[in-house]
């Protein structure tokens, strides 16, 4: 029996609007938007970046999940994993009775033909999709259009004989899904690189330095099964996980181009190297907006709000930390008191599980005016931003009486 597949909603957008407003809207954030993105309370002034929070792709994915639950109230509904990287959103979906195949004691063997499975905004691998297709279940595909565009280009690389070099985090769901598209083409190969340090190693090999054994050992978990660097680095096509830091992606593109020119010459560059911009517009808009905010204001500190496993949120924190003290918090509860807050240290380290949350003291000045900048990742709903602003406002007022 063929799968039923929903890719353009389930016809219940208006029916779930009230639920979405209840769970994710903030009247305070709407008011701040209407007040030129500024909010003052006593000695506190908060400036919001003019692009922050839910992007179109995330908003669409969450909307489809709510529509799915409404459309199939009596069916078991699964998500293959987190629909987006935000704990509040995923908690709301669990509360609605949606089961996550990534949770303990859940797996694809639980799925039957009577069930409904939602595919997340990051997409899933070709192999995972095949397994679900074989189960003849109903599928609701929320894969972001920007991700689909990357897949299209990566498959074209493979068909044309170019290895897909993916700038991304090897364990990220989107990067895994993109890599799977490359090897779905006969002879397709991929290599995943995290940062400029890893790219420099690859570029040295392209120039003719290094040996295959050392290369394979370094990138053993980041390459396709039959990857041979001597063969598969002769022609490469660069793509990016859509939520990476744009400035780093551009630098990496130049590094590969320079290495190929040095090895093969300028006249043959198109035969050995291709690249196209795959950072999604929402990611870029949020990075540009926070850069403008930092250029326009001097802040006592920045608060960046979003899931710790959210790549685009962590990159916003990296941008801010280069200019001012920055605290990346997952939710308002991380703001513990006037004296203390919990946050994730700012780094490009890929494995969040090995990067612990820390508690810092003295984050809130106890005297004088406080000027704070706030932004949020593309998977952070307004309600979380509004609650954080309320909490900071309360603490700034309380600290007057404690100083």
String of DSSP letters for 216-278? HHHTTTSB-TT--HHHHTSSEEEEE-TTS-HHHHHHHHHHHHHHHHHHH-GGGHHHHEEE---
Check which CATH number belongs to the domain holding 115 and give it: 3.40.50.11270
The predicted structure's pLDDT at residue 277: 75
Segments forming the whole domain that contains residue 331:
23-55+281-402
Question: Does residue 186 lie in a domain region?
Answer: yes
Pair 87, 181 in one domain: no
> Does residue 68 sit in the same domain as residue 123?
yes
Do 385 and 349 share a structural domain? yes
Same domain, 189 and 250: yes
pLDDT of 375 strictly over 70 = yes
Distance CA 202, CA 215 (A): 8
- 275, 290, 323 - which closes a domain: 275
Give the mean model confidence (pLDDT) for residues 298-314. Answer: 96
Domain stops at, among 144, 162, 192: 144
Instruction: Give the number of domains in the chain.
Output: 3
Query: pLDDT digit string (tens) for 124-140?
Result: 999 999 999 999 999 99
Judged against a pLDDT cut of 70, whether residue 179 lies above it is answered with yes
CB-neighbour burial class of residue 119 (10 A; exposed 0-12, middle 13-18, buried 19+)? buried
**CATH number of the domain that residue 251 is part of:** 3.40.1010.20
Residues 193 and 157 in one domain: yes
Name every residue whose Cβ is closer than 8 Å to that of residue 333 and which is 6 or more positions away in sequence.
none
Task: Calculate mean pLDDT across residues 81-102.
Answer: 96
pLDDT of residue 279: 79
Classify residue 210: in a domain, yes or no.
yes
State the Cα–Cα distance between residues 48 and 167, nearest whole angstrom: 29
Query: Where is the domain boundary, 275, 292, 311?
Result: 275
User: What is the value of pTM for the model shown?
Assistant: 0.92
pLDDT(5) > 60: yes
In this structure, are 263 and 210 located in the same domain?
Answer: yes
Rounded average pLDDT over 71-98: 96
Give yes or no: 174 in active site. yes
Q: Does residue 12 form part of some domain?
A: no
Question: What letter would DSSP give residue 359?
Answer: E
* pLDDT score of 93: 97
Q: Based on the domain organization, do 321 and 387 belong to the same domain?
A: yes
Residue 400 pLDDT class (50, 70, 90 cuts)? low
Instruction: Please name the helix (run of DSSP H) or strand (run of DSSP E) that holds residue 374, with its range, or none.
Output: strand 370-376
Instruction: Specify whether 290 is located in the same domain as 330.
Output: yes
Report if residue 389 sits inside a domain: yes
Exactly one of 128, 173, 174, 387 is catalytic; name it. 174
Banded pLDDT at 21 (limits 50, 70, 90): very high
349 pLDDT tier (thresholds 50, 70, 90): low
Does 15 fall in a domain? no
Residue position matching structure tokens 């597949």: 5
pLDDT of 256 over the 60 cut:
yes
Which pLDDT band holds residue 399 (cuts at 50, 70, 90)?
A: low
Sign for the CA dihedral angle at 156, 159, 162, 167 comes to positive
Residue 401 pairs in a beta bridge with none
Around Cβ 28, how many Cβ atoms within 10 Å? 16
What integer best gives the mean pLDDT of the chain?
A: 94
Is 85 within the bounds of a domain? yes
Whether residue 11 lies inside any domain: the answer is no
345 part of a folded domain: yes
% of the chain with per-residue pLDDT over 70: 96
Is the predicted pLDDT of residue 266 greater than 50, yes or no? yes
The predicted pLDDT at position 143 comes to: 97
- Averaged pLDDT, 256-281: 93
pLDDT value of position 123: 97
Q: 278 pLDDT band (50/70/90 cuts)?
A: confident
77 and 114 in a single domain? The answer is: yes
How much is the pLDDT for 354?
57
Q: Are residues 296 and 246 in the same domain?
A: no
One domain for residues 102 and 171:
no
Evaluate if residue 352 carries a pLDDT over 60. no
Sheet with 236-240: list strands edge to edge: 190-193, 163-167, 236-240, 273-275
Do both 301 and 332 map to the same domain?
Answer: yes
Per-residue model confidence as pLDDT tens digits over 210-230: 899 999 999 999 999 999 999
């Amino acid at each position: 029996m063929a799968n039923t597949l929903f890719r353009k909603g389930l016809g219940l957008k208006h029916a779930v609007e009230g639920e979405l407003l209840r769970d994710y809207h903030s009247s305070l954030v709407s008011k701040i938007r209407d007040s030129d993105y500024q909010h003052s309370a006593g000695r506190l002034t908060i400036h919001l970046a003019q692009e922050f929070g839910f992007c179109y792709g995330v908003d669409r994915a969450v909307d489809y999940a709510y529509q799915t639950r409404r459309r199939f109230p009596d069916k078991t509904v699964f998500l293959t994993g987190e629909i987006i990287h935000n704990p509040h959103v995923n908690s709301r979906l669990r509360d609605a009775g949606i089961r996550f195949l990534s949770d303990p004691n859940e797996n694809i063997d639980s799925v039957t033909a009577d069930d409904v499975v939602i595919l997340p905004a990051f997409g899933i691998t070709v192999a995972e999709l095949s397994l679900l297709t074989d189960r003849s279940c109903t599928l609701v595909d929320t894969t972001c259009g920007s991700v689909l565009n990357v897949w299209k280009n990566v498959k074209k690389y493979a068909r044309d004989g170019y290895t897909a070099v993916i700038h991304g985090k090897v364990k990220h769901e989107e990067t895994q899904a993109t890599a799977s598209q490359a090897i779905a083409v006969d002879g397709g190969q991929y290599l995943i690189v995290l940062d400029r340090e890893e790219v420099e190693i690859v570029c040295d090999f392209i120039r003719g330095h290094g040996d295959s054994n050392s290369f394979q050992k370094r990138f053993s978990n980041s390459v396709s099964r039959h990857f041979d660097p001597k063969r598969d680095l002769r022609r490469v096509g660069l793509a990016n996980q859509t939520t990476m830091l744009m400035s780093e992606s551009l630098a990496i593109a130049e590094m590969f181009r320079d290495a190929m020119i040095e090895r093969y010459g300028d006249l043959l560059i198109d035969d050995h190297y291709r690249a196209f911009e795959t950072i999604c517009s929402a990611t870029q808009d949020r990075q540009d907006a926070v850069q403008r905010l930092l250029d326009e204001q001097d802040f006592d500190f920045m608060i960046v709000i979003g899931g710790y496993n959210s790549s685009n949120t962590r990159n916003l924190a990296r941008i801010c930390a280069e200019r001012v003290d920055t605290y990346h918090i997952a939710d308002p509860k991380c703001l513990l008191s006037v004296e203390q807050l919990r946050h994730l240290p700012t780094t490009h380290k890929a494995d969040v599980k090995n990067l612990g949350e820390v508690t810092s003291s003295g984050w809130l000045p106890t005297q004088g005016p406080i000027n704070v900048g706030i932004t949020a990742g593309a998977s952070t709903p307004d309600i979380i931003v509004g609650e954080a602003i309320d909490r900071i406002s309360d603490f700034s007022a309380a600290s007057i009486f404690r100083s």
